[in-house]
Amino acid sequence: MVKIAISGFHGTGKSSVGKALADKLNLKHYSTGDAFRSLAEQKEMSLKEFSSYVENNPEIDEMLDKKIIEKTSNNQNIVVDSLLSGYLLKNIADFKVLLTAPLETRINRMKERDDTDYQKKLEETVFREKSEIERFKDLYDIDLEDEELKEELFDLIINTALYSVEEIAEEIIAKMKKREII
């Protein structure tokens, strides 16, 4: 069984890289970002509104995060992309990747994906990430800004502004082969 965790803030390319890896390695793929956006749509809320709502309803974060553990615990080959996947799956995932990118790059990517304007996406993302940093510290005692923890926890850290999705997927595969994970 191969279990890969891909973490990173919004717009770093988690889902794109996760899908590419899943395709190349014939693995299943699960994205909490997709699930979060779907829940926001079901409640007819913007991501900013839904983030505020989740601040007062921690059971939503807990449900999404339990789903990650459930998906990886049932003996399937899978790529999971989530802000917290590397942290929550630290003892379960065979390989943990942290994707990074400058804020401007991330906002431009999400602006294109969501077909919205830059300023709106910037405000929404800054609000959402501040909310998540605080919530996850309270809920799980995870400090998403702790650089030492990132270096210890992740097998590979990649700035996605420097490479294509294809190049990133190939780099992850190469590192996993080198470690004889695949």
Amino acid, res. 43: K
DSSP state of 6: E
Question: Using one digit for the tens of pLDDT, what is the confidence trace for 81-101?
Answer: 999 999 999 999 999 999 999
**What per-residue confidence (pLDDT) applies to 37?**
84
Q: How far apart are CA 105 and CA 102, in angstroms?
A: 5
Yes or no: say if 71 and 18 are a contact pair by the CB < 8 Å rule: no
The proportion of the chain whose per-residue pLDDT surpasses 70, expressed as a percent, equals 99
Domains and their CATH numbers in the chain: 3-178 (3.40.50.300)
Q: How confident is the model at residue 28 (pLDDT cuts 50, 70, 90)?
A: very high
Yes or no: say if 41 and 119 are a contact pair by the CB < 8 Å rule: no
pLDDT exceeds cutoff 90 at 35: no
Q: How confident is the model at residue 136 (pLDDT cuts 50, 70, 90)?
A: very high
Question: Using one digit for the tens of pLDDT, what is the confidence trace for 146-179?
Answer: 999 999 999 999 999 999 999 999 999 999 999 9
Has this prediction a pTM greater than 0.85? yes
Question: Using one digit for the tens of pLDDT, what is the confidence trace for 39-75?
Answer: 899 999 988 899 889 889 989 988 888 888 888 888 7
